[in-house]
Homo-oligomer: A and B are copies of this chain.
């Protein structure tokens, strides 16, 4: 939402707004230029005109700075699932939520997401954090499903499945050229559903 450009060099003393956003921008720039491991937290803080201690007030650790933009994601998706038509199947509810978000602001974030994913892919610790965020998203979706009357076990399974589809679709979308995310999401869901459908022969 709040995505206005921040300037660093000038008189950017404290009490300036968007401290977290400034820190995030400084971090992404430094990570891109010199790599994640080679960038220290004091370096990021200095570039944002803040101190190390303040960095850790806005982010629980160094990794988390790359996921600032996704903090509201679980709440948004859960709300969309909660507002889905009640006649849908459990999987239909989840996909409705993702679909509603995919048709929204997602298209404009493509390059931002791509650059962050490039950094995340370069470090094992960042990959781990991303996986945790996805699982947490799944748990929130699972709760939303339960409020729709879905059984707990089924909610967990469908939520995990939906998040997996979302993950794979996101990767495809970033690699593909020009396709709308909604279309990639649908395609991935369809292909995966076909593969997972109990085969006629064997198993």
Q: Which residues from chain A sit less than 8 Å from chain B, CB to CB?
A: 85, 87-92, 95-96, 124, 127-129, 131-132, 135, 153-154, 156-158, 160-161, 164, 167-168, 188, 191-193, 195-199, 201-203
Query: Are A168 and B160 neighbours in the complex by a CB distance under 8 Å?
Result: yes
Cα of A193 to Cα of B203 in the assembled complex, Å: 12
Query: Are A193 and B201 neighbours in the complex by a CB distance under 8 Å?
Result: no
Query: Are B92 and A199 neighbours in the complex by a CB distance under 8 Å?
Result: yes
Can you name 10 A-B residue pairings with CB atoms under 8 Å? A89-B201, A89-B202, A91-B203, A92-B199, A157-B168, A157-B188, A157-B195, A161-B196, A193-B198, A197-B197
- What residues of B have a CB within 8 angstroms of the CB of A89 in the complex? 199, 201-203
- What residues of B have a CB within 8 angstroms of the CB of A88 in the complex? 199, 202-203
Cα of A131 to Cα of B124 in the assembled complex, Å: 12
Query: Are B127 and A192 neighbours in the complex by a CB distance under 8 Å?
Result: no
Can you tell how many copies of this chain the complex includes?
2
> Which of B124, B157, B168 has a CB less than 8 Å from the CB of A192?
B157
* Minimum distance in angstroms from A187 CB to a CB of chain B: 10
Cα of A198 to Cα of B127 in the assembled complex, Å: 31
* Minimum distance in angstroms from A162 CB to a CB of chain B: 9
Query: Are A157 and B197 neighbours in the complex by a CB distance under 8 Å?
Result: no
- What residues of B have a CB within 8 angstroms of the CB of A91 in the complex? 195-196, 199, 203
* Minimum distance in angstroms from A129 CB to a CB of chain B: 6
- What residues of B have a CB within 8 angstroms of the CB of A202 in the complex? 85, 87-89, 92
> Which of B128, B167, B193 has a CB less than 8 Å from the CB of A196?
B193
- What residues of B have a CB within 8 angstroms of the CB of A95 in the complex? 203
Query: Are A196 and B196 neighbours in the complex by a CB distance under 8 Å?
Result: yes
Add 7 more A-B contacts to A157-B188, A196-B197 (CB < 8 A). Answer: A88-B203, A89-B202, A90-B195, A91-B203, A154-B191, A157-B196, A164-B164
Q: Which residue of B lies closest to A162 (CB)?
A: B196
Query: Are B154 and A201 neighbours in the complex by a CB distance under 8 Å?
Result: no
